[in-house]
Structures are given as structure tokens and as C-alpha cells.
Amino acid sequence: TRVVVLLSGRGSNFRAIAEAGLPIEIAAVISNRPQAAGLAWARERGIPATALDHTEYADRAVFDARLADEIERHRPDLVVLAGYMRILSAAFIARFEGRLLNIHPSLLPMFPGLKTHERALAEGVKVHGCTVHFVTADLDHGPIVIQAAVPVRADDTPETLAARVLAQEHRIYPQAVRWFAEGRLAIRDGRVNLQDDST
């Protein structure tokens, strides 16, 4: 399974996937931010790493078309968004639908969008978490592959909560990629069915 990873920053989810011993080849890592730490880490490991700076493109449509062409050069079976912090255009999503995964730091459909840990604390929820889902045109609402729940503590700050959620992200994202690589994820009626192993 050939995987292309898109990221914008730190890249800890990318590292977790790269180091999980999965039956995949990371064909390339692409960042819209040239300074992303995830790019440097990939280069150190000999993983092809490309920066495509979105600020150098006229608009989202032009940038996303260029990004999609760059991705397709690597002939991926799967495209993994790992802290890719730009909204993708509908045309881009249509090109990769069914082979495009994202991780979101909340228990979707709660708290789509940004600042999820702040919002979870403000709402007083007692359970928070993270979600790996297929990306569809509906932002943060695609078919859910796997979730992990994290209890909220009375003394949590956005930072302490984020750290515990992130530890779960590093567990469930590799798991989701493994299932994809094993051909076990079937989408029906907008839901993911996990096919069993014994086939």
C-alpha cells in the first residue's frame, strides 16, 4: 500500500504511522508549510519530502490542483492527512474520495473545526477524544473509522487534555491505516464497516 502523507507542522501523527511497522510504503510527505518539522524528519529518514507553499498560489483552487498533481505523481493507494491545516476544495476531495483519511482531535460529530480541546472544556464534557474518518466534502463529517475516548479531568487545561488525546491519536491512526492497507474498510451508506480478518 502506497501512502502519501499531507501535513502542516509537527508531524507526530506521521511519525507514529511511519514507526508502527505497517505494511505500507510512505511514498511521499508533502507540506504546505516549508518549515514543518514533519518534513525535516522525513528527509532524515530518506522519505521523499516536498514543500508546496500555498502562499505562492493565486487561490485555493489553483493550489489544490497543483497539490493533487503532486500527490498523484506518487501513485498512492491512500492519502493521509496528518495535521494538514488547510481546508481542501471539493474538487480535490472528489479526486481522492474513498482513499483519503483524516484525524480530528474530538469525538466527532462533536466539536468539528478548530480549538476542540478549549471547546470541550468550556462545554464541561466528561469524555473527549479523537476520530479517524474518511474525508468527504462535508468538513469533519465523513465516515468514521475508529475513535478513542479520553476522560476529562477537573483540573485539565487545553494543553493537558490535548496531550492525552494526542497519545490516543498516535494509537488509532496507525490502526486505521493498517485496516485500510489490509483492505478491511468498506464504506456503505456513509458508514464504515470493518471486514473481519479471516478472509
Q: Which residues bind ligand GRF (CB under 6 A)?
A: 7, 9-13, 82-83, 103-105, 166, 169
Among left, alpha and beta (phi > 0; psi -120 to 50; other), residue 140 is left
CA 190 to chain centre: 18
60 labeled binding residue: yes
Pick 62 or 127: Cβ nearer ligand GRF: 127
Q: How far is CA 72 from CA 4, 28, 179, 180, in A?
A: 9, 10, 22, 18
Rounded CA-CA distance 149/3 in Å is: 27
Q: How far is the CB of 197 from ligand GRF (least distance, A)?
A: 27
32 labeled binding residue: no
Q: What phi, psi does 114 have (nearest 5°)?
A: -95, 175
Rounded CA-CA distance 106/149 in Å is: 9
Pick 13 or 89: Cβ nearer ligand GRF: 13
86 labeled binding residue: yes
Q: What is the DSSP letter of 125?
A: -
- What type of residue is 5? V
110 labeled binding residue: no
Please say if 54 is a catalytic residue. Answer: no
Catalytic residue among 74, 104, 117, 133: 104
Which residue of the chain is nearest ligand GRF when measured via CB? 83
Q: How far is the CB of 165 from ligand GRF (least distance, A)?
A: 7
* Binding residue ranges: 11-13, 60, 85-88, 102
Binding residues for (6R)-10-formyltetrahydrofolate: 60, 85-88, 102
**Residues taking part in catalysis:** 104
